[in-house]
Amino acid sequence: MDCENLKRITLPGSIKSIREAVFEGCRSLNRISISADSANNPEYVATNKALYNKDKTELICAFKNIRSMVIPETVTTIKTKAFDYCNSLVSLTIPKNVRIIESFAFDYCNNLTDLTICEGPERIDYYAFSGCSSLTGVTIPASVKSIGSCAFRGCSNLSDITISEGVEAIGDLVFNCGNLNSLTIPESVEVIGKNALFNCDKLELEAYCVAAKTLEFSKDSHPKLLIFPKVSINEYKDTLHKELCAYGFIAKPEVYTDKKIINDYISYISGRKKQFLPEIYKEDKVQVIRLLGEAKKITKANIDEYIEPALKAKATRCLAYLKDLKNMH
């Protein structure tokens, strides 16, 4: 319709079909009613807050002036653009009986700050919560198997995201959230889409994954580094992915416990000293230098190649260890 100033609409009792997202653009729509013979309408029912199909399994359109809403437990599908531009909506709980949150369902609910998604939904479709700029935190329950492309794109204040074990696929450009600080990817995730963390400028340190397997992801899915403590760097054939994993190891070596995996990382890093030593010394990561020493990667013949850049970087802890090691040689 795209009738921006339309506030009320009365549907005839005889109506049998409503096209998907038919009320898109009706940003002032505060009431939908069905004419006097509505009780006999076989397809739709309207309440004081929303329009549903007759048995209330599908929530078709919520009214734009609602501040909060208890979604009936009969609802299994929140339809495309059901809540889009509900700018008065502040608080919402999505109950356990909901199975599908369709595309653009909560698009640009600019004042939504309190969102609870109960265990139940299996799918969050593309752009489902895009542009919810007041949202600061969200937990994706274990029932969700896939998060569609751009599902949280443009949620500019979203800083805390919990993805529960059970989620299998993260789509393209899912987050694009400028205030996201860190992200833990659960073991269940198998696919991470293109640019999934695009524009997550504060996500400087980590995309942490507890999976004991490699993931399928595109070259530009990730930020500066990946932390995969249960996966050998040798499992990743692509150079870019190996580099991101190596930077992750340097950032948090303490989370890696498997000796073979640690040795694989140490071998990779020691073969690329010029690339990785500046990162090690920038944060004075003596634990990484110690691991290199214990693995005999730092020898009498090459120790000065480690000491000179450590001096320049003023990496005092690394330098102290290297000097002790040199004296032992």
Residues 288-304 have a mean pLDDT of 95
Residue 222 has pLDDT above 60, yes or no: no
User: Under DSSP, is residue 59 helix (H, G, I), strand (E, B) or coil?
Assistant: strand
Sheet holding 44-46, edge to edge: 44-46, 50-53, 58-62, 77-78, 100-101, 123-124, 146-147, 169-170, 191-192, 216-217
pLDDT of residue 6: 61
Per-residue HEC secondary structure of 213-233 comes to CCCEECCCCCCCCCECCCCCH
Residue 205 has pLDDT above 50, yes or no: no
Residue 44 has pLDDT above 80, yes or no: yes
- Taking the CA of residue 316 as centre, how many other CA atoms within 13 Å lie in the half-sphere pointing to its CB? 0
221 occurs within a structural domain: no
pLDDT of residue 210: 54
Residue 51 dihedral angles phi and psi, to the nearest 5°: -105, 135
Share of the chain above pLDDT 90, in %: 49
pLDDT of residue 202: 72
2 occurs within a structural domain: no
Hey, what's the torsion of the CAs at 52, 2, 116, 120, to 10 degrees? 50
Least confident of 83-92, 240-249, 261-270: 240-249
82 occurs within a structural domain: no
29 occurs within a structural domain: no
Q: What is the DSSP string of 251-268?
A: H-GGG---HHHHHHHHHH
Q: Which two tokens mark 87?
A: 């700018």
Beta-bridge partner residues of 167: 165
Residues 76-81 have a mean pLDDT of 96
Residues 238-258 have a mean pLDDT of 84
316 occurs within a structural domain: yes
Q: Tell me how far apart the alpha carbons of residues 112 and 115 are, in angstroms, rounded to a whole number.
A: 7
Residue 66 has pLDDT above 90, yes or no: no
Confidence of residue 120 (pLDDT cuts 50, 70, 90): very high
pLDDT of residue 64: 81
Range of the domain at 293: 256-328
Phi-psi region of 153 (alpha: psi -120 to 50; beta: other; left: phi over 0): beta
Tell the residue number behind the tokens 């501040």, with chain if given.
67
Sheet holding 114-117, edge to edge: 68-70, 91-94, 114-117
Residues 200-217 have a mean pLDDT of 58
Residue 36 is given by DSSP the state G
Give the number of other Cβ atoms within 10 Å of residue 262's Cβ: 18
- CA separation, residue 212 to residues 74, 227, 261 (Å): 39, 12, 11
Give the number of other Cβ atoms within 10 Å of residue 150's Cβ: 27
pLDDT of residue 200: 74
Work out how many domains the chain is built from and give that number. Answer: 1
Residues 288-309 have a mean pLDDT of 95
Query: By C-alpha distance, which of 312, 307, 275, 274 is closest to 289?
Result: 307
Tell the residue number behind the tokens 């002032």, with chain if given.
28
318 occurs within a structural domain: yes
220 occurs within a structural domain: no
